[in-house]
Structure 1
Amino acid sequence: MSWIDWSVLIAFLGYTIWDGTRQGKQANSIEGYLLANRSMPWWAAGLSVMATQASAITFIGTTGIAYVEDMRFVQTYLAIPFAMIFICMFLVPFFSRMKAFTAYESLEERFGLKTRLTTAGLFLISRGLALGVIIAAPSYVLSLLLGLPLNITILIIGVIATLYTTVGGIAGVINTDVKQMIVMMFGLVFCFGLIWYHLPDEVGFDGALYLAGSLDKLTVMDFNFDLTEKYNVWSGVIAAFFLMASYFGTDQSQVQRYLTTDSEKNAQKSLLLTAYAKVPMQFFILLLGVMLYVFFIFNSAPASFRATEPVAQTEQQQIAEQKVLQEYQMAHHAREQAAYNAVKNRDAASQKLFVETDAQLNAARDAELDLQAEIRQADVNDTNYIFPYFILNYVPIGLVGLIVAGIFAAALSSIDSELNALTTVSIVDWYQRLKGDMHEEAHYVKSSRGVTFFWGALATVSALLMGETRSIIELVNQIGSYFYGSILGVFILLLWVKRATGTGALIGLISGMLSVFTFDRLFYSATSDNYSFFFPWNQVPDGYTKAIEFLWLNPVGTAVVVIVGLLISYILPKK
């Protein structure tokens, strides 16, 4: 990056630190530090909810998925409006009546301390694991953009987020989230406009959509019911409903946002903002990824967007790579010419030729990635590097710094919220509850700041030790799917099953977790029509694929918790 871009980025990061830490003056009580004295406007809380869920995962990972595959990933978010209505009708009134600090306080009155601590502990484990990924994944890309060592970018993200979250509390988090959301959306909209502007005159936006449609890149809906498919309408509406209802309704990182509002109505309005805006936003980001694919039809692009220098190369591998790159360049030129003809003629023959040349180019690209993986003996998937490559090579000087600031903003807006939520659960559900309310407010505020610093340091260290991920956004959803369905099941028992007991809820929760782990290890062989379980200590044979994709683990966990919880509650009724 140029010195102008560096200046813009440093100015943004400096402003973020100042803006977040200055809110710490108001955090002189535990309610002020953790809930901003329940005084945040609904629109700020709503934007913070969206910023927390969006993060750099949305900025980088979603565009990469659309580029490599198509737009079916938007189906994952189809359940959000339904989940938000469900939460507004049942969970928000419940939390508002209790004046709770956390989502898990309410469990103790019905189910006892063990269930509360276990559920809160699962949150700490799940979000603690995800937080390392949220720091590590964008750091790999930012290290490429900035030309800095990976460890430095991890430390920049981790230290800045930890600093202003520790000092500013939840008010600092929400205020910075709002600005970070604006910067992130500006970056996305600007890049979309830049791609559109640089399309050839004879192609235009209409021609770009025609080419993308010819390659099935605009596929949005898949109505085939298949448990082995990650993304279709059924997994998006049914399975993802359990994920979204649990994430936005029982995950402290989200619940804490709308607990900062001053009324039940405003809490509901903050969630409905996400309900209305989230699906169109995701659709737009996926369309950006598709437009990026069309952009590189007419502009030069490397066979691998991830710049890797092989550790060692044999003479045979060097010859193979030269051949692959030559085939890639020939295919790129042929595809470009075929694309012009396809847009001009719009007939079946021209369209078929364009599709064939695109397949040849992607075959050469896959061969290059496979060769790099063979040389390095490691995964070199470049999904998370596609959009950053465009930023680095095609965005004008001065604006590169602002777009990179948007990626930083996306990462920080998710990390700060997770840190604050982890602190709240650690202090309220564990420390304060087990120690008893025996200290003054100042002690708990000081303890909260210390715990925030601890979680930030732990997440940063874990990010430094973590290996690179294939697709950022999928990995975080997969981690969540191990926990969310089971936790939602406990809240269903709490709200609607009067006979449910603490023993039933606790055993149901443990059973749900075990069932999710078990079904995640169920594999299917299409050649022999055989189902088999393969656990981490087993090697999965060739020809086997997962029988149930990760989104369906959420309803499995919920159903097992409710069924087992009911049975145990009837067998061992509360005395």
Structure 2
Amino acid sequence: MTEFGTLNWSILLVYILVNLYIGFLLGKKINSAEDFFLGDRSTPWWAIGISVLGTYVSALTFLGAPAWAYTDGLSVIAIHLNYPLVILLVVTFFLPFFFNSGVASIYEYQEKRFGHTSRAIISAIFLVSQALTSAAVLYATALVLEFITGIDVEYAIVIVTIIALVYTAMGGITAVIWTDVVQATILLLGGGIIFYALLTQLPLSLGETLAQLKAQGKTDPLNFSFDFSSVTTIWSGVIAMTLYHVTVYGTNQMMVQRTLAAKNIGDAKKSFMMMGFGAFFIYFMFILLGILFYHYYDGARFDNGNTIILRFATDYGLPGLMGIIAAAVLAASMSSLDSAFNSMATVSTIDFYQKYFKPTASGAHYLNVSRLFTVFWAIAIIVPAIVFSKSQGSILETLSKVGSYFVGAKLSMYALGFFSKHATEKGVLIGIVFGFATVWYVATQTDIAWPWFCLIGASVNIAVSLAASLLLDGRQAEYSAYTVKGQLDKFRRDGLAEKDGGWYLVPGRIDRPAYLLLVFFVLSLAFLFLFERVIA
């Protein structure tokens, strides 16, 4: 622990104190459960956007992306090509439903569309999957603290949990957003310093290094193979992972909740679009780091690949760098953990406690309950975090594999809700069972790569749900008011304005600025196509 040094400890402690102070200040403005869940709806869109970006680009990316690229090369970027397409779908179909309803929990939609059982099931799926995801994030951070300070990983897991818990319980979603802004800044600063330092330490120029990596097959970002057992093909990235990430951003309370704190739907959409434009650059930087590390260390094997970036920072020896890196990884982790704690507390309170136990209590009562649930979920993720600590592979890939078991069910429930005329609750519930069973079989009995689990699970779920709905409940006479067509009909029938400030309130209409996401997607593909070809 003494090797960490006074300067590094000072940097880390100042960062922690700043986050706690932000939580303390914003906590003074929290007077009700609505304040805790949504704030006062005055948070600027750019802060929400940075929060969205920082939450998903977490410690798993800081550590896991270089580790994954170290072994698989630049083709890992294919998994993250799809964000412009994902965000286009989310702001066009998902956000209008959630924002117009004024709900704090996005899973209220499922009850309005299908029934209370559907709402309870998808809420439970979110809580379980988010707890596992948060545990992986927590482990990633504890790994850093163990590496740089010598603190045992189990103790580090508890310490990080307590820090994120304190300011989240005090300040709610507003504290989550503003601390995320600080945390994202530190994350990118740390990544930028490491990238610059590595460039200065390479034995050859960047061009010569990339040329050697090209000869070793590490620089091809676009794998057009139709091998469905391969994870990082262009097809799995653009097709399968687009659907996967739609569930991350469109059906995930943790992601959507902060956009519901925006002033209007235009701000909510702009905050999400920041992710659509910004994610590619961030992931490309960390994945490029991975292949450059492969050259720097001459392909040496590491006991735990997730520590590569930390080992380099140690070897580089710049005073204060380890403190910045520790703060960066802690920042990345807490930007995900605080969001998870707040969103899980929101769902637990609204979708279960308020609905089934205390439906008419005061706002102050629900606020206290929400804070208790925040504590509960913080404690609950500690055990799976310790289990993750036994894993040796890339934690980014491990997390993605875990999430792939759940996304098909969530995606299909919303797809059926938005577009199907005849889907009913009974049919949807039967479809979920068959979908999970199919994904389990594919995962355990075949060589098909995990990015395809979402498409496979959702396809089976939708087909079985529609068949069961028609068999049990027959054909429906008209579209539900909570389908896209039903909403369009309602806006026309009631003479409601389809736009607010130039942005569509009605689902299914593409905003003019959102077309730029398609342009950006094409340009990013072109950039990657040319990248390897210009390497000498």
Return the TM-score normalized by structure 2.
Answer: 0.85
Cross-structure match for 2:435? 512
Quote the offset at 1:97 in angstroms. 1.7
Quote the offset at 1:461 in angstroms. 4.0
Q: Separation in 1 of the partners of 2:442 and 2:41? A: 41
Q: 1:418 pairs with 340, 346, 358, which one?
A: 340
Per-residue CA deviations over 1:196-226 (Å, capped at 9, x if unaligned) read 12334xx322222222222222121100111
Quote the offset at 1:466 in angstroms. 4.6
Cross-structure match for 1:161? 164
Q: How does 1:92-111 map to 2 (within 5 A)?
A: 92-111=95-114
Quote the offset at 1:68 in angstroms. 2.5
SS in 2 for 1:217: coil
Q: Separation in 1 of the partners of 2:216 and 2:117? A: 54
Cross-structure match for 1:331? none
For the pair 1:136 / 2:36, whether they are aligned, the reply is no
Q: Separation in 2 of the partners of 1:48 and 1:453? A: 22
Cross-structure match for 2:249? 248
SS in 2 for 1:71: helix
Cross-structure match for 1:405? 327
Contact 2:90 2:250 survives alignment (8 Å):
yes
For the pair 1:56 / 2:59, whether they are aligned, the reply is yes
Q: 1:146 pairs with 149, 154, 159, which one?
A: 149
For the pair 1:289 / 2:290, whether they are aligned, the reply is yes
Q: Separation in 1 of the partners of 2:470 and 2:41? A: 40
Per-residue CA deviations over 1:446-481 (Å, capped at 9, x if unaligned) read 100010011111212442455422210111111111
Cross-structure match for 1:552? 452
Q: Separation in 2 of the partners of 1:138 and 1:403? A: 11
SS in 1 for 2:43: coil
Q: Separation in 2 of the partners of 1:497 and 1:111? A: 11
Q: 1:494 pairs with 401, 417, 420, which one?
A: 417
Cross-structure match for 2:83? 80
Per-residue CA deviations over 1:149-183 (Å, capped at 9, x if unaligned) read 22221122111011111111111111111110000
For the pair 1:472 / 2:372, whether they are aligned, the reply is no
Cross-structure match for 1:224? 225
Q: 2:36 pairs with 6, 9, 33, which one?
A: 33
Contact 2:8 2:322 survives alignment (8 Å):
yes
Q: Separation in 1 of the partners of 2:45 and 2:461? A: 33
Cross-structure match for 2:305? 383
Q: How does 1:133-532 map to 2 (within 5 A)?
A: 133-200=136-203, 203-297=204-298, 365=300, 381-464=303-386, 466-469=388-391, 470-523=393-446
The worse-fitting range, judged by mean Cα deviation, of 436-445 and 243-252 is 436-445
Contact 2:240 2:452 survives alignment (8 Å):
yes
Any stretches of 5+ residues in structure 2 without a counterpart? 477-536
Contact 1:158 1:456 survives alignment (8 Å):
yes
Per-residue CA deviations over 1:486-516 (Å, capped at 9, x if unaligned) read 1110111111102111111111122212211
Contact 1:102 1:255 survives alignment (8 Å):
no
Which one-letter code corresponds to 2:272 in the other structure?
A: L
Q: Separation in 1 of the partners of 2:24 and 2:69? A: 37
Quote the offset at 1:128 in angstroms. 1.3
Q: Separation in 2 of the partners of 1:194 and 1:42? A: 33
Cross-structure match for 2:495? none
Q: Which has the larger radius of gyration?
A: 1
Quote the offset at 1:42 in angstroms. 1.2
Quote the offset at 1:140 in angstroms. 2.3
Q: Separation in 2 of the partners of 1:53 and 1:116? A: 25
Count of residue pairs the alignment pairs up:
471
Q: 1:567 pairs with 452, 457, 467, which one?
A: 467
Q: Separation in 2 of the partners of 1:500 and 1:59? A: 42
Quote the offset at 1:386 in angstroms. 0.9
Per-residue CA deviations over 1:340-396 (Å, capped at 9, x if unaligned) read xxxxxxxxxxxxxxxxxxxxxx5xx56xx7xxxxxxxxxxx4211111101122140
CA RMSD of aligned residues (A): 1.6
Contact 2:313 2:321 survives alignment (8 Å):
no
Report % sequence identity.
32
Q: Separation in 1 of the partners of 2:385 and 2:297? A: 32
SS in 1 for 2:318: coil
Which one-letter code corresponds to 1:471 in the other structure?
A: S
SS in 1 for 2:381: helix
Q: Separation in 2 of the partners of 1:189 and 1:467? A: 27
Quote the offset at 1:436 in angstroms. 4.7
Cross-structure match for 1:17? 20
Per-residue CA deviations over 1:289-337 (Å, capped at 9, x if unaligned) read 222233335xxxxxxxxxxxxxxxxxxxxxxxxxxxxxxxxxxxxxxxx
Q: Separation in 2 of the partners of 1:274 and 1:264? A: 16
SS in 2 for 1:482: helix
Any stretches of 5+ residues in structure 1 without a counterpart? 298-361, 370-380, 524-545
Residue 235 and residue 407 in structure 1: after superposition, are their counterparts in 2 closer, same or farther (change >3 A)? same
Contact 2:141 2:160 survives alignment (8 Å):
no
Which one-letter code corresponds to 2:352 in the other structure?
A: W
